[in-house]
């Protein structure tokens, strides 16, 4: 983030301009502020700025694997006997969006295919999330206080764009690449994509 800010200032001075998404820089700025909690006190005023899911894995010797999506600040990681999926700036909305399946798997050890399926759902829903969270940030006596503005704002539309099984299937195909599942196989039934869960609890398709 600091390097990007420096590059922007340098190009502004040179008059070349900077081809950088303002929305993405806004997210990075907020994330940079929240990360100050590593070395100074940061108080979140009655909200959680992220969705983070930690699950146990069946294979206790799972090889390290990491993937991320910079535009949505989403990442997944698996290693040894645990896996993590995180959306770093959604105020917990993606976790609530997938609450049914999370309740169903609570306490269960997941296979690698099941973990990747959960990760694919979060990566796709993070893409569908159509708000840019805003925060009120107030430093007081060495403490940073952060309060979240309402996500709904002045908009009447839902927080997520319409879920489409075909697009989700394309994401899932990429996540399941090690097991060779094709898109045709995944969405053979367009109304019920392939799943490694007995009860998939997929979001409703528009």
Chain segment 18-35, per-residue pLDDT in tens: 455 777 888 888 888 888
Q: Which of these ranges, 11-20, 136-145, 175-184, has the smallest mean pLDDT?
A: 11-20
User: For the segment 33-77, what is each residue's pLDDT rounded down to a tens digit?
Assistant: 888 888 889 999 999 999 999 999 999 999 999 999 988 999 999
User: For the segment 126-161, what is each residue's pLDDT rounded down to a tens digit?
Assistant: 999 999 999 999 999 989 999 999 987 767 889 999
Residue 14: what pLDDT? Answer: 47
Alpha-carbon gap, residue 25 to 173, rounded angstroms? 30
Residue 59: what pLDDT? Answer: 97
Averaged pLDDT, 165-188: 97
Alpha-carbon gap, residue 51 to 55, rounded angstroms? 13
Alpha-carbon gap, residue 87 to 21, rounded angstroms? 19
Query: Per-residue confidence at 12, pLDDT binned at 50, 70, 90?
Result: low
Q: Which of these ranges, 4-8, 112-116, 165-169, 187-191, has the smallest mean pLDDT?
A: 4-8
To the nearest 10°, the Cα dihedral for 192, 193, 195, 197?
-30
Residue 75: what pLDDT? Answer: 97
Q: Is the pTM of this model over 0.75?
A: yes
- Quote the tokens at residue 106: 């609570």
Residue 33: what pLDDT? Answer: 85
First to last CA, the chain: 37
Burial of 98 (0-12, 13-18, 19+ CB in 10 A): buried
Averaged pLDDT, 83-99: 97
Residue 13: what pLDDT? Answer: 47
Residue 30: what pLDDT? Answer: 87
Selected residue with higher pLDDT from 176 and 31? 176
Identify whether the C-beta of residue 87 lies closer than 8 Å to the C-beta of residue 74. Answer: yes
Reading across the β-sheet that carries 62-69, which strands appear in turn?
51-56, 82-87, 74-80, 62-69
């Amino acid at each position: 983030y600091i390097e990007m800010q420096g590059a922007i200032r340098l190009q502004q001075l040179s008059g070349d301009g900077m081809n950088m998404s303002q929305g993405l820089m806004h997210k990075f700025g907020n994330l940079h502020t929240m990360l100050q909690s590593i070395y100074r006190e940061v108080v979140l005023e009655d909200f959680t700025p992220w969705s983070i899911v930690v699950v146990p894995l069946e294979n206790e010797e799972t090889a390290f694997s990491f993937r991320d999506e910079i535009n949505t600040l989403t990442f997944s990681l698996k290693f040894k006997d645990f896996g993590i999926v995180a959306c770093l700036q959604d105020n917990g909305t993606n976790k609530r969006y997938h609450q049914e399946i999370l309740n169903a798997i609570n306490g269960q050890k997941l296979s690698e295919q099941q973990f990747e399926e959960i990760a694919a759902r979060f990566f796709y829903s993070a893409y569908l999330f159509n708000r840019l969270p805003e925060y009120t940030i107030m430093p007081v006596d060495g403490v940073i206080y952060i309060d979240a503005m309402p996500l709904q704002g002045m908009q009447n539309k839902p927080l997520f764009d319409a879920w489409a099984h075909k697009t989700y299937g394309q994401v899932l195909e990429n996540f399941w690449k090690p097991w060779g599942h094709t898109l045709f196989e995944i969405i053979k039934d367009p109304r019920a994509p392939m799943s490694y869960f007995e009860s998939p609890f997929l979001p409703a398709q528009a």
